[in-house]
Structure 1
Amino acid sequence: MSKKTTYLLGILLTIILGTFLYWKFCCGCCKEDSCDRKDKIEETVVDNNFVETKKTTVNPFAFKDDNGDFSLNIDDNFNFNASQFSLLDSISGNVNDGIIQLKDYLDTNNLKRLNITGYYTSEETNNSAFPNLGLARANAVKNHFISKGVSSRLINTYGKLNDDLVPNADNVFFGPLDFGISTRVEGNTADGDALKASCEAIKANPLVLYFNTGEAAINLTVEQRQKIADISRCVDKMGVKVQVVGHTDNTGDAANNVVLGQQRADFAKNYLIRNGILSGNIVTSSKGQTEPIADNTTEEGKTKNRRTVVTIN
């Protein structure tokens, strides 16, 4: 073998070895890292710097009874815009079919209960009347189940903070929910007793909303939001009705104040409906200026008399 041939073979072997080592220790690592990150993040480049963009969260419509033989997993779910609690219209036929299957299971197993947990993130704004946006979302889903024939008495709703949720580019959350099936212990009355106590507390200390003259705006405190959640639960579990009564001060004509009181009651009713309490469960009326709770000769007293009282019976 000539020196020239030997030299060329050496170059060829060097190229082959270099290519192998590059693939083994560089490209292999890059490929492995890329695969490991595929389902977690996507990378974009801004001004030559890597910015991590989290992948959109997509949760399935899934149930499993750990103490029974029912399970369901559907690649669709209920979806929500960010900071909103109204269901988007894109509820698939598969989800509705799954609800019917679940209804049949609950109907034949009277100790089973459906638990719906709605999630929300700390970056969202709670525009609902409930203590948190997750509970409002769970309540909206509950109402859809009710529309499909599932009894509200069989459904428990909860809200939970979950900052792992990631919306898509249009700020839509896909299935920010968790579903579970629990089994009630026969003869255990603790939950029922607690519920009755909560409902009696509403009757003894109703939700009171205050208004300025000629105004019908609602701004809720933390305590008032919790009362709305408790009222909703009493309606669902006890079959009671929400009573909304409008009151006014004695400014102006008494007959006109009856109308104003009714307007306030109707406004409060519509507000409750927008927040997931079904219309058929709400009754409104007006007392006008006939039942003051404070002195109408003072501005402070008039302010207290301009109110709408929300209770249950």
Structure 2
Amino acid sequence: MSKRLLYLLGILLTAIIGAYLNWMFCCPPGGKATTKVPAVAPVVKPVTPSPTSYGLAFNDNSKFNYAVNDNFNFEGADFSILKPVSAKVDEGVLKLKDYLEANPSKVIDITGLFKSTEKNTSAYPNLGLARANAVKNYLVSKGISSKQINTFGKLDDSMIPNGTIYQGPVEFGFESMDLSDEGTKKAAEELEALHKEIMAHPLELHFATNSSNIRLTPEQRQEMADIAKYLDKVNDGKVLVVGHTDNTGDAAANMKLGLDRANTIKNYLVRNQILANKIESLSKGQNEPITTNATAEGRAKNRRVIVTLK
């Protein structure tokens, strides 16, 4: 057989084998072409983040350490401690009391945490500061001096509630007071400056006719925080709440209305962590107007409650 013929037979055999393989892999028996089905992407379920939970931790550079998983808890947009408080938290608070009594120069800093999505329902500049003051009052109820407590608020948008509850949105730290003569003098001067500021700019709240609704501006919230801070550092400090009215109606009714308004503010202060035994309320009725009652604008200014230091 000639070389030319062998060459032609090789080409023919290659073509036959190629056609066969194409038929086997591209077409099923019966000659029907297959349609390639696109791959279906797997369904990825969204991951629900786990709630954050901050344990209670007192740590003063190895001089005093106490840590448990439990802590003070709060409902979202609220600043009242959820009860009951864990027995382990109470145990830590009592140990803290013993430590602070043995170390009078020590101060515990309480920082309440809050999220920007939480509505501030308190009278303070932010919900974190209100939570810190709630914890402060709890420590005071266990015998810890408020003079050895500072309160702060801090934004923490990383917190994730467990349902509607924030678990332990409170941090604790320690610092030292300067108890030297110079340090004591400086602290007294700062406290006196705060007293003068509060007396010079008392918290003034206004009401619509026959109304006791409370609306605070950001400036008034800061005034509230200043009053609370002053009361913490002065054992005999007192808040004076005085109700005033316009001259609409009779004098006796206005005297009662003024007292009702003053007591409304007193109750509001108590809800905002001012101790009731540090608040005195009274009424001046229509007797001390600050402007004319002849105009609607003047009467609105006279319907007021003044909150200041006694």
User: What TM-score bracket applies, with the shorter chain setting the length?
Assistant: 0.7 to 0.9
SS of residue paired to 1:226:
helix
Structure 1 distance, partners of 2:110, 2:188, is 19
Deviation by residue 1:101-136 (Cα, 9 ceiling, x = unmatched): 100110011100011000001111101110000000
Structure 1 distance, partners of 2:150, 2:302, is 36
Residue 100 of structure 2 corresponds to residue 106 of structure 1: yes
Structure 2 distance, partners of 1:171, 1:258, is 43
SS of residue paired to 2:83:
coil
The residue number in structure 2 matching 1:78 is 72
Residue 135 of structure 2 corresponds to residue 141 of structure 1: yes
Structure 2 distance, partners of 1:90, 1:59, is 17
Q: Which has the larger radius of gyration?
A: 2
Q: CA deviation at 1:284?
A: 0.2
What amino acid does structure 2 have at the position aligned with 1:287?
Answer: K
The residue number in structure 2 matching 1:158 is 152
State which of 206, 227, 231 in structure 1 corresponds to 2:223: 227
Residue 261 of structure 2 corresponds to residue 264 of structure 1: yes
Residue 296 of structure 2 corresponds to residue 299 of structure 1: yes
The residue number in structure 1 matching 2:112 is 118
Structure 2 distance, partners of 1:59, 1:246, is 43
The residue number in structure 1 matching 2:59 is 64
The residue number in structure 1 matching 2:36 is none
State which of 284, 289, 295 in structure 2 corresponds to 1:287: 284
Structure 1 distance, partners of 2:60, 2:54, is 18
Unaligned runs of 5+ in 1: 1-46
What amino acid does structure 1 have at the position aligned with 2:150?
Answer: N
SS of residue paired to 2:189:
helix
State which of 38, 50, 55 in structure 1 corresponds to 2:50: 55
Deviation by residue 1:73-94 (Cα, 9 ceiling, x = unmatched): 0111000011110110131111
Structure 1 distance, partners of 2:153, 2:65, is 23
State which of 127, 134, 142 in structure 1 corresponds to 2:121: 127
What amino acid does structure 2 have at the position aligned with 1:305?
Answer: N
Once the two structures are superposed, the pairs formed by residues 241-252 of structure 1 within 5 Å of their partners are 241-252=238-249
The root-mean-square deviation of aligned C-alpha atoms, in Å, is: 1.3
Q: CA deviation at 1:186?
A: 2.6
What amino acid does structure 2 have at the position aligned with 1:155?
Answer: I
Structure 1 contact 79–90 (Cα < 8 Å) conserved: no
Aligned pairs, number: 265
Q: CA deviation at 1:251?
A: 0.7
Residue 169 of structure 2 corresponds to residue 176 of structure 1: yes
Structure 2 distance, partners of 1:183, 1:152, is 14
Structure 1 contact 247–308 (Cα < 8 Å) conserved: yes
Q: CA deviation at 1:198?
A: 1.6
The residue number in structure 1 matching 2:191 is 195
Seq. identity, %: 49
Unaligned runs of 5+ in 2: 1-41
TM-score by length of 1: 0.82
What amino acid does structure 2 have at the position aligned with 1:172?
Answer: I
Q: CA deviation at 1:200?
A: 1.4
Structure 1 contact 77–174 (Cα < 8 Å) conserved: yes
